[in-house]
Structure 1
Amino acid sequence: MPQQVRGVIAPGKGEPVRVETIVVPDPGPGEAVVAVQACGVCHTDLHYREGGINDDFPFLLGHEAAGIVESVGAGVTEVAPGDFVILNWRAVCGQCRACLRGRPWYCFNTHNARQKMTLAETGQELSPALGIGAFAEKTLVAAGQCTKVDPAASPAVAGLLGCGVMAGLGAALNTGNVSRGDTVAVIGCGGVGGAAIMGSRLAGASKIIAVDVDERKLATAERLGATHTVLSGAGRGDVVEAIQSLTGGFGADVVVDAVGRPETYRQAFYARDLAGTVVLVGVPTPEMRLELPLLDVFGRGGALKSSWYGDCLPSRDFPMLIDLYLQGRLDLDAFVTETIALDRVEQAFARMHDGDVLRSVVVF
């Protein structure tokens, strides 16, 4: 029968979030109910609260989550009750043109649960963030959004692979194809940029240059694997020149823009070596525009790529990365700045906005 649990709701644009009682229905065909154990506080949740994604309020926030499958609906074979899973927002369909061409990480028809969770008091339907809604004791998702991993991993760490950390790791490993001996620059060293640095180190990059306006984030970047840092911002010198000077005057083989602004993208474009790669993983806002000389785009060669969710395939990447973590080869613990209770999400947004944390993680 349907269950009532506590969850964090964004009631309207710019309004503070609040904890409400929500109704989680029994799973229907192809669905699963997951008892959430931990969920990271991501910038995307703040974008939802501010109306930056869409205006389908009220939202049930939270999406970087791990937990235990409690029940499944008819036809579910991917997972079973009792499985420890990471939730993802790319449940691949297996039938679209990307999937049929053997590129499921680009799936153009990802799906979510068909049923809606609702507010207990009014019956109003909730819009789950990225189809997940995991700032809740339990949530309803499509079974394909559940990826089974080794239960030896801490839920607070495992859940971060559900979004930001995977986006950064994948930007380096999957989209940028960083390999041994490459030089890499990462512009923007929050959670996503920090993960790109860690991924570049894992891949064997010879030089990893971290760029940010905040000295605290550069210090963290060094702990995550950066070999050099560049403090950017007004009056602090030219970022492109700084990166070129650290790479023999040539520029980096791969430059990751983890900010997603026209000015940082231009820096990334000109800070790469000839035939180098630019990876855009920071998410721009709709009004942003970019202007580049077309001759420079042609003349510099290489590749200009966007990284969607780190071009990850959850069924392939999540178990592998968890195994690397358990082997001590991938320090995912470094991303967990603090663990908090469910009623501290609004305060976590403020700390994130001020640059005080890599990740606050709600632990149930």
Structure 2
Amino acid sequence: MAQEVRGVVSREKDAPVAVETIVVPDPGPGEAVVRVQACGVCHTDLHYKQGGISDTYPFLLGHEAAGVVESVGAGVTEVEPGDFVVLNWRAVCGQCRACRRGRPWYCFDTHNAAQPMTLADGTPLSPALGIGAFADKTLVAAGQCTKVDRRAAPAAAGLLGCGVMAGLGAALNTGGVGRGDSVAVIGCGGVGTAAVMGARLAGAARIIAVDIDRRKLDTAARLGATHTVDSRATDPVEAVRELTGGFGADVVIEAVGRPETYRQAFYARDLAGTVVLVGVPTPEMTLELPLLDVFGRGGALKSSWYGDCLPSRDFPMLVDLYLQDRLDLDAFVSETIALDDVEGAFERMHRGDVLRSVVLL
């Protein structure tokens, strides 16, 4: 039987969000209903509110979430009621050409729940990234549920669902950071700081955090950066080169998503080094680089989509590291809030006051 629960809804572009009654249907084939315990407030949710992703209002916001499976539909075998899960927005299909080639983290046919959640009047909702977890309960495809150790704090584990995984994966998966490497991270918000932590996990010898905000640089230093560069006061390319013997970093991770910072990343890497773009650009942005420089510097220019993660592989492993006190996911939780404070959390995030606000339900 369908259930009525509370959820944070964005009805129109740039209008304040509000907690409204939403209707969650019983799970159909391949679907699951999850009782949400915690959900991080991510920049992507703000982009939905601002109309930067699509105009299919109303949106049910929230996607960085952890909770407990309440019920499952026919044919579901990967999870069962009572499982503690982290939600993901890339449920792999297992059948596309990427999956068949053994590269499911590149799956070209990821999917979400087939049934819509609705407002009380029957209006269909567009769930953020196919999840919609600023709600007491949400309906997702069962493949969007990754079972992890239930000893993990939901507020910390849920952050693997998007931004923290994107940053960790940019270093560990896409960038292939290895022991002894030098790494520079340009932009030290939540994703960039996670990339710093990923580089530290991988054994990088030198980790250079670059930002214009002293508070973010201090946080990056606390969580693994060996050096910091205030790019308001210093040319970041020259600073990274100076800190790497004049050569540039082996891996440079761009976590801003702007042409000017991408150019900095391109020229701050060593010859044959790697640039990883994990910051999300807007549609109108373009990039111009001398083609001879692209050719002559060699190496690799990569984009990191969700940290090139495979949730079934990466989430349990990272939760285990968290439980072993080797990955400080708690450090990303700047504050815990109630469902009706999401609008205020957007303002604090925009000001750079927090790494993550986390809604507890």
Q: TM-score, normalised by structure 1?
A: 0.99
What SS class does the counterpart of residue 252 from structure 2 fall into?
strand
What SS class does the counterpart of residue 263 from structure 1 fall into?
helix
Q: Which of the residues 237, 240, 245 maps onto 1:243?
A: 240
Q: Which residue of 2 aligns with 1:130?
A: 129
Task: Report how far residue 325 of structure 1 moved.
Answer: 0.4
Deviations 1:81-122 (A, max 9, x none): 0000000001000000000000000000000000000001x2
- Counterpart Cα distance in 1 of 2:215 and 2:234: 19
What SS class does the counterpart of residue 180 from structure 2 fall into?
coil
Asked if residue 38 in structure 1 is aligned to residue 35 in structure 2, the reply is no
Asked if residue 309 in structure 1 is aligned to residue 320 in structure 2, the reply is no
Task: Report how far residue 123 of structure 1 moved.
Answer: 1.0
Amino acid at match of 1:343: D
- Counterpart Cα distance in 2 of 1:195 and 1:291: 28
Pairing 1:126-275 to 2, within 5 Å after superposition: 126-233=125-232, 236-275=233-272
- Counterpart Cα distance in 2 of 1:275 and 1:334: 34
Q: Which residue of 2 aligns with 1:296?
A: 293
- Counterpart Cα distance in 2 of 1:239 and 1:149: 39
- Counterpart Cα distance in 1 of 2:131 and 2:284: 27
- Counterpart Cα distance in 2 of 1:183 and 1:11: 46
- Counterpart Cα distance in 1 of 2:234 and 2:74: 60
Deviations 1:204-238 (A, max 9, x none): 000000000000000000011000000013xx231
Size of the aligned set, in residue pairs, is 361
Task: Report how far residue 59 of structure 1 moved.
Answer: 0.2
Asked if residue 318 in structure 1 is aligned to residue 315 in structure 2, the reply is yes
- Counterpart Cα distance in 1 of 2:285 and 2:203: 34
What SS class does the counterpart of residue 35 from structure 2 fall into?
strand
Pairing 1:86-97 to 2, within 5 Å after superposition: 86-97=86-97
Q: Which residue of 2 aligns with 1:352?
A: 349
Asked if residue 58 in structure 1 is aligned to residue 58 in structure 2, the reply is yes
Deviations 1:294-327 (A, max 9, x none): 0000000000000000000000000000000001
- Counterpart Cα distance in 1 of 2:52 and 2:342: 18
Q: Which stretches of structure 1, 4 residues or more, deviate above 2 A after TM superposition?
A: none
- Counterpart Cα distance in 2 of 1:48 and 1:115: 20
What SS class does the counterpart of residue 23 from structure 2 fall into?
strand
Deviations 1:7-55 (A, max 9, x none): 0001101111000000000000000000000000000000000000000
Deviations 1:142-168 (A, max 9, x none): 000000000000000000000000000
RMSD, matched Cα: 0.4
- Counterpart Cα distance in 1 of 2:310 and 2:319: 14
Q: TM-score, normalised by structure 2?
A: 1.00
- Counterpart Cα distance in 2 of 1:78 and 1:249: 51
- Counterpart Cα distance in 2 of 1:77 and 1:239: 50
Pairing 1:67-86 to 2, within 5 Å after superposition: 67-86=67-86
What SS class does the counterpart of residue 113 from structure 1 fall into?
coil
Q: Which residue of 1 aligns with 2:115?
A: 115
Amino acid at match of 1:9: V
- Counterpart Cα distance in 2 of 1:16 and 1:211: 33
What SS class does the counterpart of residue 195 from structure 2 fall into?
helix
Structure 1: gaps (5+ residues)? none
What SS class does the counterpart of residue 267 from structure 1 fall into?
helix
- Counterpart Cα distance in 1 of 2:25 and 2:119: 12
What SS class does the counterpart of residue 337 from structure 1 fall into?
strand
What SS class does the counterpart of residue 237 from structure 1 fall into?
coil
